[in-house]
Amino acid sequence: MFETSPPRTPQQTAPAPRLEIRDLTRVFSGREVVSGVSLKVMPGQVTCLLGPSGCGKSTTLRIIAGVDRQDAGGVYVDGRPISEGALHMPPEARGIGLMFQDFALFPHLDVARNVGFGLKGPKAEIRARVETLLDKVGMRRHIDRYPHELSGGEQQRVALARALAPSPRILLMDEPFSGLDDRLRDDIRDETLGVLKAEGTAVLLVTHEPAEAMRMADEIALMRDGHVVQYGAPYNIYNAPKDREAAAFFSDIN
């Protein structure tokens, strides 16, 4: 008898990132404000684009959302281009949700209608979806309230429910917690992370706060002057910052 060779481990093909940008570049008035930026977001993961004010974070997000166009490079969802060269998928066709700090709730609509805004389908189904989401963010009991009757943290929870209502496969968050006071912020970050993980959403979170990136990110892209200067797991970047400036940036984490 010949000995049979041990069964081969099947070649695992790495899953395509849900969102990927490659060599993204944007020029304003002859200056590259985004310069060859590449990063990935896997399903159910949070990638943080972290860097000081003015380094090009929001510009990068706007290009991914499709409300601005790159001058070079591309944006890919599940391995397929949505923005590359002459190809430019319109924002509403991208399946990408947005949550910005100043993305205020509609003041004249109650919580239920804020969250259900823009959803299509039978009323009862929309109501059920809204109730499910409000349960997830712990706001169901406030379903009939108006934004001005809610605290900042409560409004933020409703805004999260609204961002998730159309079940986006990708969520872009631009400094979503910066309007909240310090005492609340850690709790809201943790709750938000729990909801996003449960939904399996791929999240690209923009922040200028290292502590926020350390708390929320699976991967961090550290950005400076339009460039990603370091990219990797939070632990690795924190423990082995690439240069003095990166070290200094992380040093005020308390």
Instruction: State the DSSP code for 147.
Output: G
Q: Residue 47 or 114: which CB sits closer to ligand ADP?
A: 47
**Binding flag, residue 9, ligand ADP (CB under 6 A):** no
- The nearer residue to Mg ion, 59 or 114, going by C-beta atoms, is 59
CA pair distance 54, 37, nearest whole angstrom: 15
What DSSP character marks residue 185? H
Q: Closest Cα to residue 59, out of 85, 30, 24, 94? A: 24
Residues 6+ apart with CB under 8 A from 100: 173, 174, 175, 176
| CA–CA dist 78, 141 (Å, integer) | 37
173 vs 196 by CB, closer to Mg ion: 173
Q: Which of 35, 47, 58, 70 binds Mg ion (CB under 5 A)?
A: 58
Does 230 interact with Mg ion (rule: CB under 5 A)? Answer: no
* Using rule CB under 6 A, residue 27 touches ligand ADP: no
- Interaction partner, residue 33 (Mg ion, ligand ADP, none; CB < 5-8 Å by kind): ligand ADP
Residue 47: phi and psi, rounded to 5, are -105, 130
* Complex with ligand ADP: residue 49 or 160, whichever CB lies closer: 49
**What is the Cα gyration radius of the chain?**
20
237 vs 37: CA distance, rounded Å: 17
Nearer to ligand ADP, 11 or 53 (CB): 53
Kindly state the smallest distance separating residue 99's Cβ from ligand ADP, in Å. Answer: 15
Region near ligand ADP per CB under 6 A, out of 17-25, 50-58, 89-97, 185-193: 50-58
Interacting residues with Mg ion (CB under 5 A): 58
Interacting residues with ligand ADP (CB under 6 A): 28, 33, 51, 53-59
